Amino acid sequence: GFPRNYDNLEGWVRCMGSEENSVASAWGCLVYTCPLEELERRILERAETSGRSDDNLKSAQKRFTTFEQQTMPVVDTLKIVQKLQEEADKPSHKVEEITGDKTIEEVWSDTQAVMNSFVANDVLTANAQLLESIEKDDVDQYVELCSEDLLDDQMEEIMEIYEGEMGKKVEIANPKIEFVTGTKAIVSYDRTTPDGNQTIRESRVWSHQGSRGWVNVHFSRTPLLP
């Protein structure tokens, strides 16, 4: 696993995630938990065919001790960071625990569910930031989150045409996310127009574009009947 100790964590932050050198951010951390007795049973079972010299109880117990002394403090630190970010109402990484003493199929299913929640949260965060840019009349943030195909040089006019009167509170309800592929998702919700006279069902198609992250590439609106 990674990070296995504070040295790993410090290296990641320094090289990948610092404010001065923001190369990548982590959605979260997966922590697999399993009773010691089950881990020992699995290692001895693997030793029957693996041919590994370290597949024995003595070596395994040393690894378990190292994990408890060096890795678990890192996990506890990440949990504290998550709590502080949530209290500050900031997007936070998640520390998710997955029970490992199940079948391979069950553990994989649980892992997929957590990973899907990470991706969904990332898309919804991008959508929330786009709506926030409309509320704040923030052209730069709006442009950053939209595909070039949706925009042109007259951005303020484009935003007025697409989004209505800028600087007004955006009210939404009944959000839903649907994944088309691993890199394309549709976020839909009911949105009340700025004058409060009409509610529409708005859908935005998001595409993950490498280092840019999630980008809004298309949208549609359907009036809802009173």
pLDDT band at 225 (very low <50, low <70, confident <90, very high): confident
Between helices 57-66 and 36-50, what is the axis angle to 10°?
A: 130
Tally the residues of the chain: 226
State the chain's maximal CA–CA distance in angstroms. 73
The answer to whether residue 218 scores a pLDDT higher than 80 is yes
Mean pLDDT, the chain, whole residue set:
88
Rounded distance between C-alpha atoms, residue 183 and residue 174, angstroms: 23
Residue 208's SS3 state is strand
- What share of the chain has pLDDT > 90, as a percent? 56
Q: Quote the CA–CA distance of 97 and 114 in Å, as a whole number.
A: 9
d(CA 194, CA 187): 20
Does 5 or 210 have the greater pLDDT score? 5
Q: What is the pLDDT of residues 40-98, one digit of tens each?
A: 999 999 999 999 999 999 999 999 999 999 999 999 999 998 999 888 877 678 899 99
Asked if pLDDT for residue 155 goes beyond 70, the answer is no
pLDDT at 20 over 70: no
What is the arithmetic mean of pLDDT over 109-114?
94
What band does 154 get if pLDDT is binned at 50, 70 and 90?
Answer: low
Find the helix or strand (DSSP H, E) in which 32 lies: strand 28-33
